[in-house]
């Protein structure tokens, strides 16, 4: 029976685990913590201090059960590929060394490995995952399809995460702080306007709305916006037609060019141009007779 590496199927596909021998022993190295460096491109940016403290207690009592995965740098230090939580907790626990698999990897692979490891352990929030996908795609010119192949996720799944980055920053922070979950965030995307999204977000926080309710409200907001737009367009069309009729009637009565403009509230002006004083006097005489 093949020993478990604790890395997950996705990472096993990227990391050569042939160093795990059939007799159950494994080529795990003890690496000085002082030589280990966190990955600056680590997709995970939030580390729960309370959870780290609990892990540190466990490490003091039982040790590090699952080795971290490192890449050796040219200067003799090691970059964390997978296991930064264990590294941080080990430091808190006062360990001087950490069991680790040593891996040779390119920068792109390091980022992929860190992303997959965290996704499989469900350590990342939805925004962190979206940002990691976006960074990989930008840095290495990957399409969503290619990204899907590399990390073993459906293209639609990746697309859904990336869409979250279109939400206002306040809502993205709400996802990261676990004020709302990904289901709520995706439902908010149905409201097209950022102000509408923010208003619904505040209602979620205040009223504890379900995802289904948010979907209904977001759809209603979109329908209302579209209805308002159609109503305004119809109103403008009717008003323009009415003004055109008024212009024609004034031109018939006054015998000269007339321009009539008005806003949606009915406020506007009538402009009657004239070319000289004789035309002005004739116009005034006509208006006088009409009075």
Whether 84 is catalytic: yes
Task: State the residue range of the domain holding 76.
Answer: 1-106
The Cα angle at residue 28 between residues 55 and 60, in degrees rounded to 5: 25
Residue 247 lies in a domain: no
- Asked if 49 and 82 touch (Cβ cutoff 8 Å), the reply is no
Residue 224 lies in a domain: no
Residue 208 lies in a domain: no
SS3 98: strand
Q: What is the pLDDT of residues 62-101, one digit of tens each?
A: 888 888 888 888 898 998 888 888 999 999 999 999 999 8
Counted domains in the chain: 1
Residue 279 lies in a domain: no
The pLDDT value recorded for residue 71 is 85
CATH number at residue 46: 3.90.1530.30
pLDDT category at 122 given cuts 50, 70, 90 is low
Residue 37 lies in a domain: yes
Q: What is the pLDDT of residues 14-50, one digit of tens each?
A: 333 333 333 333 368 899 999 999 887 766 667 778 8
Q: How far apart are the first and last CA of the chain?
A: 107
- In this prediction the pTM is 0.51
163-168 mean pLDDT = 93
CA distance 179 to 191: 19
Residue from 84, 112, 215, 221 carrying the catalytic annotation: 84
SS3 179: coil
Residue 98 lies in a domain: yes
Residue 146 lies in a domain: no
| pLDDT exceeds cutoff 70 at 172 | yes
DSSP letters for 134-148: HHHHHHTT--HHHHH
Residue 210 lies in a domain: no
């Amino acid at each position: 029976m093949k020993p478990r590496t604790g890395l997950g199927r996705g990472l096993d596909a990227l990391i050569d685990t042939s160093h795990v021998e059939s007799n159950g022993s494994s080529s795990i190295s003890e690496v000085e913590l002082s030589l280990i460096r966190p990955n600056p491109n680590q997709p995970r940016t939030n580390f729960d201090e309370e959870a780290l403290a609990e892990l540190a207690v466990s490490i003091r009592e039982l040790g590090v059960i699952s080795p971290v995965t490192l890449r050796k740098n040219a200067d003799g230090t090691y970059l964390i590929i997978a296991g930064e939580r264990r590294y941080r907790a080990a430091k808190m626990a006062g360990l001087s060394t950490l069991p680790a698999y040593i891996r040779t990897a390119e920068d792109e692979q390091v980022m992929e490995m860190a992303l997959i490891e965290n996704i499989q352990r469900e350590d990342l929030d939805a925004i962190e995952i979206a940002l990691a996908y976006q960074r990989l795609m930008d840095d290495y010119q990957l399409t969503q399809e290619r990204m899907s192949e590399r990390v073993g996720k459906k293209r639609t799944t990746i697309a859904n995460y990336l869409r979250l980055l279109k939400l206002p920053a306040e809502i993205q922070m709400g996802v990261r702080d676990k004020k709302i979950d990904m289901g709520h965030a995706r439902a908010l995307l149905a409201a097209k306007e950022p102000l509408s999204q923010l208003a619904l977000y505040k209602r979620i926080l205040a009223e504890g709305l379900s995802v289904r309710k948010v979907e209904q409200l977001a759809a209603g907001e979109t329908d209302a916006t579209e209805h308002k737009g159609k109503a305004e367009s119809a109103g403008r069309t009717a008003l323009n037609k009415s003004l055109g009729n008024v212009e024609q009637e004034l031109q018939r009565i006054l015998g000269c060019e007339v321009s009539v403009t008005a806003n949606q509230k009915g406020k506007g002006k009538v402009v009657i141009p004239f070319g000289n004083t004789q035309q002005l006097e004739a116009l005034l005489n006509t208006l006088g007779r009409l009075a």
